[in-house]
Structure 1
Amino acid sequence: MMHTFRQVRYIAPGGLVLLPLVLLPQMLPPLALLRGNVGHETERIFLDLLLMGLGALIVAALLSPLETLGWWAGWYGDQVDPHRTPCTAEEPLPSTQARRYIVYLDGIGQFKSTYAPEAEQFLSALGQSLPDMVVVRGITPYSVLNKPLIEDRPMSAFWRLVTWLRSKRFFKVLGMLINIRNLLVVLVSADTRYGPVYNRGMAQVIYNGLINEGYRPGSRVPITLLGFSGGGEIAMGAAPLLQQSLDAPLDIISLAGVFCGHNKILNLNHIYHLVGDKDPVERTGPVLFPKRWKVMFLSYWNRAKKRGLVTFISLGPVGHQTPGGVFDPNLRLPDGRTHLQQTVDWVTDILQEKLPLEQPSTAPRPSSYSLAQQGDFNQPEAYPLGAVVDAAYYRPIAPWMGRLILPTLDQRQPQDGVWFEVHHATADYSHLVSQRVWLSWQDTPWVRQYLSTVTRDLHFSADANYSRHQGKVVPERLNGWRQVGPLESLAGARPTDNMVVMLNGPVQIDSLPNGVVQVLIDQDPAQISGRFYAIAQFIAPSQTTADGMLYRIRHFNRSTRQFDGLEEVVWLPQVVPNINGLRPSSNQNLERSPCNPDGWYLYGAPDRRGRFVVQALAPRALFTLIPDQEIVGKTATHRYLKQVSWTVKGVKGTISSVLLRASEKASSSFHLGDRLLLNHVYGGVGGKMTEPAARGPIYFGHFAYGLAEVVQEPLTDDLRLEMQYFQVYTQNGDGLIACRHHWSNYMGDRQFGWLNLRPVRDAVIKLDAFTNRYDIDGDVVCPLELLLHQLQIMMARYRTGDGSGITYVGPANNCAQDSNQALYAALQQINRATTTLSDSVSWLQTHPDQAGQVKQLQQIGLSLKRDLLPWGTARADWQNHEAVLGSSLEDDPVKQLATALVSWRTVLPRIASDAVIISFLQRGATVLVLRTTQVGGTIPEIEPIAPVGL
């Protein structure tokens, strides 16, 4: 069927070739009559030439797709495989180490490989202004063979005659034939039938031009297509294919561009459209091409505009082409610059990231986050650096901690990095405390892949600006930045530099050429609350004021293993009410909490008055690895998960810990150093102060994965769980960022955490086959780490909205769907690797201890695929790892719902969580289910709501 379809398309041009032969005999009698009535010989010659031109025009119009289809069919010796990657090339030339490549695509007046004098002057000025960038010339955008009209073509003699005649004043009008011919090619590019073939050919031409100028595929050096007039359409058509082939950041600068609007441009970094107020040619585009009409709001062009991918720039009283056009070197603007100089300035500013973006003129609505900033205790500056605490009762949360500070544009480095105000460091580097160092990335294969995948130009969409006005916290400081990396998106996620984090994994110390100390990491930092923690019981309030309480506490004594240690007073500031008027945590009756007998982890830091401020709380018993109950058996564990684990009636203020094993063979113990998969779901806030999201008939909840590790607690010498959440979370009014969160911040923070507000179920999953490392041909692979890597990518993409500033959430894309897409991607990688291993006799003989685990891992992959994808097939975006996070329902409601149905079990957080936990249990996992239900001080106005399940 496919071959028949292609044959029909190729036959069509053949019919077009015959059409002029049919029409011209019918036209000869009236044309001869007209010529006979002309008396003057000069006029007859002119009419003859005019008729010849019209005939040539007709033939050119009818045959305009022929060169394209001939290239596709291989008539010109360049065979094309329609199933291969759009662009292929031989070994690239050495890179010129350019900061950016600029490909110029000229307007429809081009007839040779060089350009008109004013265009040459523009490119020369651009090259002088951008010495660290390469301008790629010599592209003929109106030929898939990259052949100018006057060179090596069947009709090149005719076009040479036209170019010679156009230099004569009397025949100057014949030069319009060149414009008309190239305009016809623009229409071919815009045509839904022939356009895909033509645009593919032009992508190959541009690709080859880049390679010839030293571009190295895979280098991730940014590329800009600079299209003038009809070159704008050629750029729009070729850009998506070119970006796919080169896997590099790519944007378009349209200079008075005329284009159709149906090209798939949503994955491009950005489009800048520069046009003069007196340009009549550019204005034909929005009229002639229906996909640019406002009523066609689902077209790629209008969706790109809505997402903020398009920036419109007015050039003032400027026309289209010289004289008076964008390249006119003589006419001057009111500010004294020529038209040409203004165009050079605009393009240079864009390419050097100096383009001033308009900022919203009105302040956003208040949000829970903005209200919380009114509390002095929520500011990092409230806690002086270098404060000393008693090491017998307080310990740092992590070896490296500090505050992320977004650099200014002129401070940015080629590789993603931010300033790091050191709050705590290891003993060897304690002298760095209170200093600013540069935080960046180690050079590892994973880091390179990570940065190349998530680095994006960031330009706010209309939805991002609207969300900001509605009170959501969006990365407004990054708006307009090019090539924003994951550290920058983390530091700039909020309006101010208040992101306090701990560093994960190995830390390397280096220095920049200017002598600045550089700290290098290979994992995302995790947000924390406080710098130190203690283990203590609350005794009673010692003083109550309008802004908080002084509370007497008694520390844990490691010698007696009782709470008979040092007594002191700590400060619990009164938290600020959220946008719904509800305080996220309470100081009331903490000493009466059911959790108080086993003590609390108190996270915080000394303030300016020397008082230890309790910024976060955690019930100690929750992390001790000593369950309240153990349930064994497939039926019993399933019943607990589906029916009992979300019982919320009568359990407010309590915690529970239940160990699940589907069979007696599963291990019931945890060991120091164990790394475990964390599966998290939270419920809603009900009662007299029900949150808005829970006022409907059902409450969906929220889903996330995370990492739990078994560590030795230095204050007690006991084993305990240390937990971090990998939150795939859309922009919101609470200021909760899509990133790694330490338990102290995401759950325990008294202003921003959920411990005192929501019912939460955390399932800690232990399965050696999933957490072990496998040596595959010298590469050490761990399924858990692969999942965490995929989650890091997803979180970074959520923070920037893939460059739009906002992430869309709907049935097909949400916390549960996208978190499980990361799991699916990790399982696919493991499946490919383990399939090879299981068939390798030598590997099985060398690693007999892991042979059973490999088979077990394969079974888990099949089980999870079956449970998460009940229709037996993966969603297209899960298979292809599409770069776009999804879209709102208005973009394509039917497709959104259909996509969601393919993975419907991951639409609802509770159902997705149950499916994953049961899959692991059935393959021998041990699961520790930790529940907290509005734990902390007394808040009588709220009640817990369980997320909806089946």
Structure 2
Amino acid sequence: MPGRIGKISIAQLRSPRSQQAKPMSQWLPKLLKFLPFGLVALGIALAFPYIETELQGLYDALDTTWQFTLNLMAMGLIALIVAGLLIPLETLGWWAGWYGDPLETQLDPGTLVKPLPPEQQVSRYVIYLDGIAQSKFQYLPEAENFLTTLESVLPDDILIVKGLMPYSPVNRPLTEERFLSFFWRLATKFQGSESLGFLGFLGSLTIQLRNMIVVAISADRRYGPIYNRGTAQVMYNSLINHGYEPDSGIPITLVGYSGGAQISLAAAPYLRQTLKAPIEVISIAGVFSGNQNALQLEHFHHFVGDKDVLERLGAILFPKRWAIAFLSYWNRAKRRGKISINSLGEVGHNDAGGPFDDKQQLADGRSFLQQTVEAVANIILGNITPAEPLAAHQPSNYERYQQAPFNQPSYYPIEQNLDPQLYRPIGTWMGRLILPSPKRRRRAKGVLMELYCAEPAYQEWVGQKVRVQFARDSARIKDYVRAVTKDVYLSEEAKYSQSQGAIHPERLNRWQQVNPLESLAGSRKHDDMVVLLREVRVKSTSPLTLEIARDPIQIAGRFYALVQILHPVGDRGELFCVVHFNRQSRQFDGPKEFVRFPEVIANREGIYPSTMQDIERSPQNPMGWYIYGAQDSSGTFVVSAIAPRSLFRLQPDRIVSGESACREYLTHQTWASLEKGTSNSVLLCPYPSRYAQSDRPQLQELPKIAQHEVLREAVRTSTVSNLNVPASTLINQWQQGDRALVLHVYGGIGGQKRESAAKTPIFFGHFAYGVAQVVWEPLAEELRFEIDYLQVYTHNVDGIIAGTLAWNRFIGDRQWGWLGTRPVCDVLVKLDAFTDAYQVGDIARSPLDIFLDQLEVMTARYRIGDGTGGTYVGPAHNCAQDSNQALYAAIRQIQKGIDNYPEIAQKIRQDPQQGERFEQLVALGKAIKRELLPFGAARADWRENSSQLGISPEEDAISSLLVGLMSWRSLFPRKASETVAKEFLYQGALIWVLRTNQVGGYDPDIEPLAPTPIG
């Protein structure tokens, strides 16, 4: 796509003052810095005049050939000094605009090694930057041979750009339009001649010494940033002229040979900032400083031969590459797995014996050139040899749990024969995610799924592998996928954490451009993640391709039923007699059957995640349990997860009204009761009088059953706060389809088997956001809450993967969940101004949806640690801080929409049905921003939404602590939940608090432990 495309270029990154051309007088003082060197040389000559006489005598004694050679050497030395002085001048001149419009994108765009076939879409761009022997756009024969051979092994959809001059910020060859062009043309002529012997060597040496100065300038802190922006502008021009579209997310690979590696490494951050593209750098025998921010690259691949002496000078001459500079960009990037150093074997730096030599051979028969081409091509194509699996020093809980057959999806047949009157599928589209092999990735463009359940029209696909990918016709989804797609290289911290038993995405190690579906499917060692898909669109039936708009939801089981547990059967204690709910009588007097509750595996601290001991005596049993699972090969229903029905019904145990009473409850009463095995459901209404004349439809009164339900019905029919507002009126504000923001906090495990994380008096707990929706439950024929969490969860020994998890998976799962071991609090917040959509024309969008978008981004980043393969808990980054960063980003996005599009805000305000809600939203956003950032200024990473995950707290402990304290209210899970809930409360939100305390069977060795109240 030739010409300008209206996007910002590299030169536009400068300050406004720098956009204007500067007179030379402003830059002359900088050039005077070189004056002392000339004065020293002049002083030596004046102090020792006899030296000149001696040297003249020696010169006269030489024959004509040697005199000519020395003359050339002297000319070369003078030219080299002059050229060295002119390089900064050329750089400053580009910056000042002396060479024309620096934004012109059609100047010397380079050429393609092979033209792009018609109608062929490009999947990756490759730019080659040659070594320090380059003097013009044409390369030496060995470099041309390398590019031709490389092009022959790459597919047609990968473009290779050549013909750039990296040793000039204005892409100007040495042989044209320069003060010393005649000299460089002569040196180039000598360089290309094999018959001139020493003169050819001298010409090549002069060019290389001049370009070495350029490499040093690129690494210099004074002129380097300017020079590197100039070369980045050259690459930008080339990409734009060859059809690259900024913001498209198409990957870019910079291949730099020798000094070209330094130029590539230095220009890449500017190029990435402008194009918003993933960029990797491949260094072939590269000499570079390590001063540049390699953390911004997808990866830096460095290939060096064992006989390459020149390359090793870089590690010696540049202190930032020394091991003692452990906080330099280079060493930090190495620790985070951003840098790979690979040996080419018995290979030198250049010429014969160099990486482009097609004559000399390795022990396996390949030439040096073949080896180099294969190495570069494999990286570009993503065909990187997987790393050796790292043996864990300590087994993880995930590996322990996998030893039980009932915890593996393969234990349950695809074909299930369950009575549809008693069992219902959890969702319409369900299955097991499968990570495609590296060779199938280019074709799959997503992941595979073994289909367990489908719509009636596609039942023939059940049991087969189908393709799952994100819809491509949504700008929101494109932005999401592009934002979180990263190269994955496990850092040293991730490898160490893995050796201690934590589960990291080992199967994705060394994969390029891992998208959020791949990061979800490949987060564990096995393809054992069962998910539910929502908002599914069938794109193709050959093979079946499912397009989705949201991340898959991790679930437990495939079907569910509503039962009451009667008693265990037999001595083993795994079979239980249950009775199903009868919709006609609305009692538990339906069919009886035996279901299996297999004994779970204890974690590595000896704590059992759940138990069935005395579960029939549980306070929740009279109201029944939702049981989730599937049939085994014998036809017995095996229960994977449980959920107390009483917790999710729209029937509170208590109603609290009035702002002060609600605030008091959130602060002091939510965690007041920790009676083991109990649960409670409390509805908070700060301003009940608002609903006295509510026009929302009343729920149909249902026949009373069981004593526990009678108590709940008493709440429904009572009057609130002597305001003549029936409790049922407040309950009826929650209608089918309504959504609520969920603030989730769980506590610790105390008692005789106290967990190690709770050994100290302070236990912070865990925080997450989620979404609850009021749905019609067909088995009970009543409304209930359906809760999904968006868990910003660090890598852990339990194999819990950051993402969207259904309540039955994260809390209710008998093996993997927390219902039986931890106290849990879910605060459901319903404020129409936040949860309902705003309609402007054909567009309907709610702030809650925007927030969920931000949370999906954060959870996807957590799965791969922004490419490092690991995330860690610290003051600046943890579940509470990063979840609230997503909230802040959503508020900021809404505020930007208000500021940037005032006409839309005006239209909303003019609508009487939306105007009041909109004003509430604006006030809520300001209040939450004020509370989350009490010092008045946003954290830099929150403000720019650019925090770096994958950083261990030990790496930068002091600054991490200071950054974390800037948003201290969101540092502690319980405090974060209370702070956000109160701000919604002040705006009149209805709040439903759901609490459990180690619900299920009775375990005498553990006790619920509330999160410590702080602040």
The TM-score by the shorter chain falls in which range? over 0.9
Among candidates 64, 78, 83, match of residue 55 of structure 1: 78
The one-letter code of the counterpart of 1:385 is I
Is the Cα–Cα contact under 8 Å of residues 865 and 950 in structure 2 kept in the other structure?
no
Match of 1:523 in 2: 550
CA RMSD of aligned residues (A): 2.4
Which residue in the other structure is 2:224 paired with? Answer: 195
| CA 50–794 in structure 1, closer or farther in 2 if over 3 Å, else same | same
Q: 2: CA distance between counterparts of 1:88 and 1:775?
A: 46
Contact 2:432–2:527 under 8 Å retained in 1: yes
Structure 2: distance between partners of 1:79 and 1:18: 30
In structure 2, the residue matched to 1:456 is 486
Uncovered stretches (5+) of structure 1, i.e. residues with no partner = none
Query: Structure 1 residue 850 and structure 2 residue 867: aligned?
Result: no
Distance in 2, matches of 1:859 and 1:565, equals: 51
Letter of the structure 2 residue corresponding to residue 35 of structure 1: Q
Match of 1:73 in 2: 96
**Residue pairs, 1:171-186, within 5 angstroms:** 171-175=199-203, 176-186=205-215
TM-superposed deviation, 1:363: 4.5
Aligned equivalent of 1:324: 353
* CA–CA separation in structure 2 for the residues paired with 1:629 and 1:644: 12
- Counterpart of 1:445, as a letter, is A
For the residues of structure 2 that align with 1:453 and 1:768, how far apart are their CA atoms? 30
Shift of residue 410, structure 1, vs aligned partner: 2.2
Mapped to 2, the partners of 1:563 and 1:253 lie a distance apart of 67
**Aligned counterparts, 1:84-99, within 5 A:** 97-99=121-123
Per the alignment, residue 874 of structure 1 pairs with 938
Q: Is 1:643 aligned to residue 668 of structure 2?
A: yes
Among 765, 788, 799, which residue is 1:701 paired with? 765
Asked whether the 8 Å contact 1:809–1:886 carries over to 2, the reply is no
Q: 1:12 to 1:225 in 2, by over 3 A?
A: farther
Q: Is 1:359 matched up with 2:388?
A: yes
Once residues 683 and 601 of structure 2 are traced to their aligned partners in structure 1, the CA distance between those partners, rounded to angstroms, is 37
Q: Which residue in 2 is equivalent to 1:371?
A: 400
2:880 maps to 816
CA contact (8 A) 2:677 2:996 kept: yes
**Paired residue type of 1:393:** L
Alpha carbons of 1:585 and 1:599: their partners in 2 closer, same or farther (altered >3 Å)? same
| C-alpha distance in 2 between matches for 1:838 and 1:101 | 39
1:36 equivalent in alignment to 2:57: yes
Q: Distance in 1 between matches of 2:569 and 2:72?
A: 104
In the aligned structure 2, how far is the partner of 1:252 from the partner of 1:410? 22
What's the CA shift for 1:687?
A: 1.0
Q: 1:20, CA displacement in angstroms?
A: 6.2
Mapped to 1, the partners of 2:68 and 2:298 lie a distance apart of 53
Query: C-alpha distance in 2, partners of 1:357/1:418?
Result: 19
- Residue 192 of structure 1 and its aligned partner are, at CA, apart by 1.2
Aligned residue number for residue 4 of structure 2: none
TM-score by length of 2: 0.89
Match of 2:705 in 1: none
CA contact (8 A) 1:103 1:226 kept: yes
Write out aligned runs for 1:255-404 (5 A). Answer: 255-360=284-389, 362-363=391-392, 365-404=394-433
Give the residue type in structure 1 aligned to 2:680.
Answer: S
The CA distance in 1 between the partners of 2:943 and 2:562, in whole Å, is: 47
Partner residue, 1:488 = 518
1:102 to 120, 126, 131: 126
Query: Take 1:871 and 1:121, find their aligned partners in 2: how far apart are those partners?
Result: 60
Secondary structure (helix, strand or coil) at the match of 1:281 reads: helix
> Which residue of structure 2 lines up, in the alignment, with residue 466 of structure 1?
496
| Separation (CA, whole Å) in 2 of partners of 1:270 and 1:671 | 50
- Cα distance between partner residues in 1 of 2:925 and 2:782: 34
Deviation track 1:638-674 (CA, whole Å, cap 9, x = no partner) reads 221121111254x111001111122224552311110
In the aligned structure 2, how far is the partner of 1:947 from the partner of 1:764? Answer: 19
- Cα distance in 1 between the residues matched to 2:969 and 2:410: 45
Equivalent-residue separation in structure 1 for 2:25 and 2:935 (angstroms):
36
Who is 1:673 aligned against?
737
User: Of 589, 612, 624, which aligns to 2:614?
Assistant: 589
Q: Which amino acid aligns with 1:69?
A: L
Contact 2:802 2:860 in 1 (8 A): yes
Q: Which residue of 1 aligns with 2:982?
A: 918
1:504 has 2:521 as partner: no
Deviation at 1:489, TM superposition (A): 1.1
Q: What per-residue deviation string (whole Å, max 9, x for no partner) do you get for residues 577-606 of structure 1?
A: 111111100010001111111111111111
After superposition, the Cα gap between the structure-2 partners of 1:891 and 1:419, relative to the gap in structure 1 and judged at 3 Å, is same
**Secondary structure at the residue paired with 2:570?**
strand
Aligned-partner Cα distance in 2 for 1:708–1:395: 20
Note the alpha carbon deviations across 1:828-853, whole angstroms, 9 max, x for none.
Answer: 12223345677669625762210111
CA–CA distance in structure 1, aligned partners of residues 964 and 568 of structure 2: 51
CA distance in 1, matches of 2:847, 2:905: 22
Give the secondary-structure state (helix, strand or coil) at the position aligned to 1:192.
coil
2:389·2:506 contact (CA, 8 Å) conserved in 1?
A: no
Are the counterparts in 1 of residues 383 and 438 from structure 2 also a CA contact under 8 Å?
A: no
Partner-residue secondary structure (3-state), 1:574: coil
- 1:892 shift after superposition: 2.4
CA separation of 1:364 and 1:779: change in aligned 2, threshold 3 A: farther
1: CA distance, partners of 2:52 / 2:160 = 49
Contact 2:909 2:918 in 1 (8 A): no
Aligned-partner Cα distance in 2 for 1:54–1:564: 101
Contact 2:446 2:467 in 1 (8 A): yes
* Equivalent position SS for 1:559: coil
8 Å CA contact 1:308–1:804 kept in 2: the answer is yes
**Using a 3 Å threshold, how does the CA distance of structure 1 residues 666 and 822 change in structure 2: closer, same or farther?**
farther
Match of 1:160 in 2: 185
Paired residue for 1:139? 164
- C-alpha deviation, 1:616, in angstroms: 0.6
Q: What's the counterpart of residue 5 of structure 2?
A: none
1:717 corresponds to which residue?
781
Q: How big is the shift at 1:713?
A: 1.1
Partner SS state of residue 309, structure 2: coil
**Partner SS state of residue 763, structure 1:** strand
Equivalence for 1:614: 639
| Cα distance in 2, alignment partners of residues 360 and 131 from structure 1 | 30
Q: Secondary structure at the match of 1:795?
A: helix
Q: Secondary structure at the match of 1:98?
A: coil
Distance 1:836 1:306, change over 3 A: closer
Moved more, 30-39 or 794-803: 30-39
3-state SS of the aligned residue for 2:512?
coil
Contact 1:255–1:274 (Cα < 8 Å) also in 2: yes
Partner of 1:64: 87
Going from structure 1 to structure 2, the CA distance change for 1:665 and 1:207 (only over 3 Å counts) comes to: farther
**SS of structure 1 residue aligned to 2:488:** coil
361-370 or 315-324, which deviates more = 361-370
Is this contact kept in 2: 1:812–1:886, CA < 8 A? Answer: no
Q: Is the 8 A contact 1:648 1:946 kept in 2?
A: no
Specify the alignment match of 1:114 in structure 2.
138
Describe the shift of the 1:842–1:686 C-alpha distance in structure 2 as closer, same or farther (beyond 3 A). Answer: closer
Contact 1:95 1:216 in 2 (8 A): no
Q: Does 1:743 align with 2:760?
A: no
1:792 CA drift (Å): 0.8
Contact 2:866-2:950 within 8 A present in 1 as well: no
Q: Does 1:409 align with 2:431?
A: no
State the partner residue of 1:169.
197
1:733 paired to 2:797: yes
Cα deviations across residues 859-892 of structure 1 (Å, max 9, x unaligned)? Answer: 0000000011111121111111116326223332
Report deviation, 1:55: 2.5
CA contact (8 A) 1:776 1:833 kept: no
Q: Which runs of 5+ in 2 are unaligned?
A: 1-14, 111-115, 692-729
Residues 401-435 of structure 1, C-alpha deviation per residue, up to 9 Å, x if partnerless? 11111111222245741111111122222222212
State the match for 2:568 in structure 1.
541
Range moving further from structure 2, 157-166 or 571-580? 157-166
Worse-matched range after superposition: 612-621 or 7-16: 7-16
Return the match for 1:128 from 144, 147, 152. 152
Is the alpha carbon distance of 1:163 and 1:929 closer, same or farther for their aligned partners in structure 2, counting shifts above 3 Å?
Answer: same
3-state SS in 2 of match to 1:843: helix
Name the aligned partner's letter for residue 146 of structure 1.
N
